[in-house]
């Protein structure tokens, strides 16, 4: 389903309203035919490929929902940002960035690589942890791009805007002639900003999100749920979305009125509901997000750390 076009740039809304693990895909039909973040869903991506040969697939970052259908485009070049290109050469790089190495250690990572290599591995309940597409879609990179670069597809040009925070290499694509920016994981969902990997950062997320407003874009394309927003819609909603970070701080502060470890706070479910924590990846992301908030509370003088416990001041 294509809902809106900006000249040669078309939006393909993902299955289930682009809710994770789907995302809104861009399709650029120009001298070079380009798919950006092919996460809209298998049926849609297969149909797209059948109708027009795709020259290039661009991934804004290495997360599953943005890359998992790369493997369908076996005749296209695969491009990803320079910072994260090694994710497509070495699965350990994914493990280090996403948090597996930090939270579960090297033996667990070895087992994860074996699990995704096998298409018969049972799926994890709430995350794409065991999806075989990890194996299929991270096996090749043909070109790297970086912040400040201009990607030229014929009559359509995209500026690469570095946007660290969601992941370290995450980039927006800004189309100055059309006044449009694709900022897929500044998604304005009720869940709020996501910085749950070892490579995520709250402060960088905030700074990168606010930089969007400085672009002379009239339309903002999000990758999940919301779709396209005009500047008038986007600016106030962005602030509300970023407010979720402060709300998480407050919730976590309440949870450390008695001294508590990162694990104890995580088990209280301040980021993801408790039932989701049975999924090892959800627990891992929750843990890393809680840890980032606790460090932030210490840095801003609202909490103290004693040993491995945190306590509100």
Footprint of Zn ion on this chain (CB under 5 A)?
A: 63, 185
Nearer to Zn ion, 185 or 199 (CB): 185
Whichever of 6 and 195 has its CB closer to Zn ion, that residue is 195
Question: Of 133 and 185, which has the nearer Cβ to Zn ion?
Answer: 185
- As measured in angstroms, the least distance from the Cβ of 169 to Zn ion is 11
Q: Least Å distance between CB 237 and Zn ion? A: 19
Between 223 and 280, name the residue whose CB sits nearer to Zn ion.
223
Q: How far is the CB of 181 from Zn ion (least distance, A)?
A: 16
33 vs 60, which CB is nearer to Zn ion?
Answer: 60
- Per residue, what are the HEC states of the chain? CEEEEECCEEEECCHHHHCCCCCCEEEEECCCEEEECCCCCHHHHHHHHHHCCCCEEEECCCCHHHHCCHHHCCCCEEEEEHHHHHHHCCHHHHHHHHCHHHHHCHHHHHHHHHHHHCCCCCCCCCCCCCCCHHHHHCCCCCEEECCCCEEECCCCEEEEEECCCCCCCCEEEEECCCCEEECCCCCCCCCCCCCCCCCCCHHHHHHHHHHHHHCCCCEEECCCCCCEEEHHHHHHHHHHHHHHHHHHHHHHHHHCCCCECHHHHHHCCCCCCHHHHHCHHHHHHHHHHHHHHHHHHHHCCCEEEECCEEEEC
Q: Which residue is nearest to Zn ion (CB)?
A: 63
Q: How far is the CB of 67 from Zn ion (least distance, A)?
A: 10
Nearer to Zn ion, 193 or 280 (CB): 193
| Smallest distance from Zn ion to CB 63, Å | 3
For the bound state, the minimum distance from the C-beta of residue 254 to Zn ion, rounded and expressed in Å, comes to 28
């Amino acid at each position: 389903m294509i809902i809106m076009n900006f000249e040669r740039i078309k939006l393909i809304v993902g299955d289930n309203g682009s809710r994770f693990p789907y995302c809104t895909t861009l399709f650029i039909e120009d001298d070079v035919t380009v798919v950006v973040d092919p996460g809209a869903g298998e049926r849609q991506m297969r149909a797209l490929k059948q109708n027009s040969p795709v020259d290039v697939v661009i991934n804004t970052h290495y997360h599953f929902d943005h890359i998992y259908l790369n493997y369908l485009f076996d005749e296209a070049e695969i491009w990803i940002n320079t910072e994260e290109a090694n994710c497509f050469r070495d699965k350990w790089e994914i493990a280090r960035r996403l948090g597996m190495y930090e939270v579960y250690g090297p033996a667990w990572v070895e087992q994860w690589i074996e699990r995704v290599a096998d298409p018969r591995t049972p799926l994890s309940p709430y995350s794409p942890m065991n999806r075989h597409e990890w194996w299929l879609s991270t096996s090749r990179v043909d070109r790297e791009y970086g912040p400040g670069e201009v990607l030229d597809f014929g009559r359509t040009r995209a500026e690469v805007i570095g946007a660290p925070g969601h992941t370290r290499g995450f980039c927006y694509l800004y189309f100055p002639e059309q006044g449009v920016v694709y900022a897929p994981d500044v998604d304005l969902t009720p869940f709020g900003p996501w910085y749950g990997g070892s490579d995520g950062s709250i402060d960088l997320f905030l700074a990168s999100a606010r930089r969007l407003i400085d672009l002379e874009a009239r339309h903002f394309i999000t990758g999940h749920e919301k779709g396209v927003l005009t500047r008038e819609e986007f600016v106030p909603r962005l602030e509300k979305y970023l407010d979720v970070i402060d709300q998480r701080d407050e919730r976590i502060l309440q949870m450390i009125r008695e001294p508590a470890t990162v694990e104890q706070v995580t088990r209280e479910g301040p980021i993801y509901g408790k039932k989701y924590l049975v999924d090892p990846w959800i627990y891992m992301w929750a843990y890393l997000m809680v840890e980032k908030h606790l460090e932030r509370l210490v840095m801003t003088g609202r909490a103290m750390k004693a040993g491995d416990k945190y306590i509100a001041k």
